[in-house]
Structure 1
Amino acid sequence: MGGANGKSKKKKSPRDGKSGGKSANYKKTGMKGGMSGDNATNKNTNGKSSTTRGALETQIESALTHISYDRIEQGLLELKDICKKNSTNVDALETYAYALAEYGDQEEALDALRDAAKANPDSGYEKFMYLGQLLDDGKAATACTKKGLDLLEEQMKKGDASVADRHCSACCALAEQILGCRDEEDGMDGDNAVDDETAKAVEELLKRAQHSDKESAEPMQVLACLRNEQGKKDEALKYLRESIARWRKPMQLVQETKKERDIYERKRPAPGAKDYASSSEDDVEKEEKEEKDDDDDEEYTPRFQDYEVSFEFRFETAKLLLEIDTSAALAIEILEELLEERDGIVDVWYLLAYAHYGANELDDSLEIIEIGEKLAAKSKDTGVLQEDEAEGALMNFAELKHVIEEVRRECDEQVK
């Protein structure tokens, strides 16, 4: 199993357009860095000879190879050095900016993206989509995302088929930002305050998105968000279910044993949970015996959990389900699948604990809270989470635990 506790394996580099980095818009639009895109067609930009440019391409490829094999620090250092030696080269600046946006410090990424935007303001939509993702100012972020979408559409008009499949996601990204930053407008109180102009702008973008990719699940999910913000819960749930139906078409990946199926059905904690949960010697002996017995079990059934949409998209699906659906069952199922893929994400453990609380499965919720607290503490010690992030996560777990204890106390009093 991959994820935080899995073995290191080759990842796609920023130039491949898909990775496990932190920029949601990057994943949505499938952006490419390095020598790809518009700049790849101009072999002698910046007055460089083809030989010099070929050497630069080789250096950039070498740096990206380090990143793709999890040697991220080395790859970033090489790209930084390349930029110092080629300070006016657009390809170098953009590749370094995209890599930082995915794997580096956010402030450094913003500086690099701004430099790339100044050096090449009229082409290369990716840097503007990244800026839209990383900027804290909602209006500025939305303006950058719009600029990125405009540039992408210009490339499409010029016949660049390589970006056509990213148009739908780019439209959805802008629609989400318009919806998300409306609270910054004067007179908005943030409580279902979606004015007609905002709703119309979002719906128009979603129509364009659907026209670009009729099979995509993204437009329906964003439309569900819009209806939810408008207070139209029934419509929101309808559109969300339509979205889920489009991506939840599983493909058979592997055959699983009865033991693995038991884990999936939550007869024991999700994969990786034993790294954080406390257990007695008797529990350990019992588990070892079960593992030995299961080794001889030849019963196999298909396991389905490979989807076209991203990990982050499914996480947002689960969050929205918990907001608008009266049942937490599907949200729990999605979150457990996410933990099978990557069991080191604290936010997923918290949302799963919250989902079980919402389903009135308090014992399960408390068990997951314990796992999440230990994971948050461990992530803080290992540097996976910043101190403030870890403390915030621990506070969330503590608050949820307190609520559950209050509910139990009230139930006990009613019984008496």
Structure 2
Amino acid sequence: MVKSKGKRPAGAVHVGSASNPAAAAAAAARSAASSNPRPSSGVGRHQQAAAAAGGATGERARASAAANSTEAILNRVEMLMDGLDFATAAQTCMRVLQRDPDNLRAIEAMGVIHLELGNPEPAFECFKRACALEPTSGADKFMYLGQMQSGKEAAASFETGTVLLKQEREQAIQMGEDPAEFTRRISTALASTAELYLTDLCHEDNAEELCGTLLEAAIAEDPTNAEAIQTFASYQISKQNPERALALLRDSLALWHRRRAGYDTYRINPNEDLEDDMDPEVADLRQVVDPMLDGEDVMDDQDLPPYDFRINTAKLLIELEQYEDASYVLGQLMREDDEVVQVWYMFGWLYFITSDYAAAFECLDTAQRMHAQTQCDDEPMLVHIQELLGEINNNNLIARFSAENGQSGENDDGSMAQ
């Protein structure tokens, strides 16, 4: 049977019938909405706001994830290190190592941070682990490790670092970059290896020949490397060639030690009152450095070789009897940091050699006290300090020197100098 129009199945409700007013109202509303669009209702606005908020939250989440990515954290570590905030850098770097203990960049950074914080043992472990994780690239970690090792182990690390530096230089050249930085570092690495054959490995077969060959290679790489030239001077001293050593040392000094007219040597003045701004620890020792200089510094700090290198410069100058230059170099070091035991010791040694026993006593006495306070582990230096102090006291050198030079030999309180 064909259904007639207008007929509907039994029980069906017509949407527009009066028997279902709610349905009719809904239908009318839909019809009106379709024919006359209007702004979104309150519910719609909430939905849009929620969607927008969800998008913003997603953006913030992505930004937070980026900020907390390993690369971002390590970039922050490097910024903190550049700002010398090593304590915060250590805490930040540990976040990476906790999630990724084998992250090479983090391990190397942590090694440097430990060094800066005065923690050589964990620093050594960091560099050792970094070298084991990636032994075929990255010269820096091998150079750091070599500096913390001795003997054949140090030589092996330096040699590996040198090979990798040469590879890095070739890569820089291929990329059109200036290789000068790599050349200087290669030269310094060769000189560092050579120095081992002057010290730890001096009893090895062909040590002298190997040392000379390495130094010649270092200077050939970079003839303007003051560190390599100075090491060559040390080598010549070991060969009993003082004239050649002095010529080389002067070549090295000429690259950075530019004295100007009007600058005099530094002196230790044990009788002068302490300056108000002197470090309290040094003030307690009743010592003062009197630079006897006028005007600005000779060179900017960034132009100077490392502090330890210049300590060795002063030592070589004393050995070669260049006392005025030695005094000047030591004075510059003292002005930079007046709490280094070795500098006070070398000043005392210099004054002892030049028969200024009162100044020698003050410097050596300060060095001896600092040696104990800082728990310095250089026992040979302490032995020499005590020998020199003993000679001054046992031979009454201060009083004798004062008498010979027409001085009273009295201390500030009127007592005789001891």
Cα distance between partner residues in 1 of 2:346 and 2:274: 14
Cα distance between partner residues in 2 of 1:211 and 1:56: 41
Cα distance between partner residues in 2 of 1:121 and 1:310: 28
CA deviation after TM superposition for structure 1 residue 217, in Å: 1.5
Match of 1:349 in 2: 344
1:132, 1:145 within 8 Å by CA — same for their partners in 2? yes
Cα distance between partner residues in 1 of 2:265 and 2:253: 24
Residue identity in the other structure for 1:404: I
CA deviation after TM superposition for structure 1 residue 230, in Å: 1.6
Match of 2:360 in 1: 365
Residue identity in the other structure for 2:298: F
Cα distance between partner residues in 2 of 1:172 and 1:270: 41
Task: Please say if 1:179 is aligned against 2:187.
Answer: no
Match of 1:22 in 2: none
Match of 1:275 in 2: 283
Helix, strand or coil for the counterpart of 2:286? coil
Task: Please say if 1:318 is aligned against 2:318.
Answer: no
Cα distance between partner residues in 1 of 2:210 and 2:122: 32
Match of 2:122 in 1: 108
Quickly say closer, same or farther: Cα 1:394–1:320, change in 2 above 3 A. closer
Instruction: Within 5 Å, give how 1:391-402 maps onto structure 2.
Output: 396-402=384-390
Residue identity in the other structure for 2:318: L
2:184, 2:221 within 8 Å by CA — same for their partners in 1? yes
1:276, 1:374 within 8 Å by CA — same for their partners in 2? no
Helix, strand or coil for the counterpart of 1:368? helix
Match of 1:142 in 2: 155
2:325 to 306, 330, 336: 330
Quickly say closer, same or farther: Cα 1:215–1:125, change in 2 above 3 A. same
CA deviation after TM superposition for structure 1 residue 119, in Å: 1.1
Match of 2:166 in 1: 153
Match of 1:201 in 2: 210
1:64 to 75, 78, 86: 78
Q: Deviations over 1:335-356 (max 9, x none)?
A: 0111011111111111111111
2:348, 2:361 within 8 Å by CA — same for their partners in 1? yes
Instruction: Within 5 Å, give how 1:3-82 maps onto structure 2.
Output: 55-82=69-96
Quickly say closer, same or farther: Cα 1:82–1:368, change in 2 above 3 A. same
Match of 2:26 in 1: none
Helix, strand or coil for the counterpart of 1:247? coil
Match of 2:32 in 1: none
Q: Deviations over 1:239-262 (max 9, x none)?
A: 21222122212589xxx9xxxx89
Cα distance between partner residues in 1 of 2:385 and 2:213: 39
Q: Which has the higher contact order (CA 8 A, sep 6+)?
A: 1
Unaligned runs of 5+ in 1: 1-50, 186-194, 284-298
Match of 1:168 in 2: 187
Residue identity in the other structure for 1:57: E
Quickly say closer, same or farther: Cα 1:275–1:412, change in 2 above 3 A. closer
Cα distance between partner residues in 2 of 1:90 and 1:409: 58
Cα distance between partner residues in 2 of 1:278 and 1:200: 48
Quickly say closer, same or farther: Cα 1:167–1:119, change in 2 above 3 A. same
1:354, 1:365 within 8 Å by CA — same for their partners in 2? yes
Helix, strand or coil for the counterpart of 2:339? coil
Cα distance between partner residues in 2 of 1:129 and 1:200: 23
Residue identity in the other structure for 2:341: V
Helix, strand or coil for the counterpart of 1:77? helix
Helix, strand or coil for the counterpart of 1:57? helix
Quickly say closer, same or farther: Cα 1:119–1:270, change in 2 above 3 A. farther
Helix, strand or coil for the counterpart of 1:389? coil
Q: CA RMSD for the aligned pairs?
A: 3.6
2:141 to 112, 118, 127: 127
Cα distance between partner residues in 1 of 2:118 and 2:400: 50
CA deviation after TM superposition for structure 1 residue 165, in Å: 3.3
Q: Deviations over 1:22-69 (max 9, x none)?
A: xxxxxxxxxxxxxxxxxxxxxxxxxxxxx8798222212323343444
- Percent same amino acid at aligned positions? 23
TM-score between both structures, scaled by the size of structure 2? 0.67
Cα distance between partner residues in 1 of 2:114 and 2:154: 18
1:218, 1:243 within 8 Å by CA — same for their partners in 2? yes
Cα distance between partner residues in 2 of 1:183 and 1:94: 31
Helix, strand or coil for the counterpart of 1:142? helix
CA deviation after TM superposition for structure 1 residue 116, in Å: 0.6
CA deviation after TM superposition for structure 1 residue 315, in Å: 0.8
Task: Please say if 1:85 is aligned against 2:99.
Answer: yes
Quickly say closer, same or farther: Cα 1:395–1:142, change in 2 above 3 A. same
Match of 2:22 in 1: none
Cα distance between partner residues in 2 of 1:270 and 1:234: 41
Helix, strand or coil for the counterpart of 2:298? strand
1:235 to 232, 240, 244: 244
TM-score between both structures, scaled by the size of structure 1? 0.67
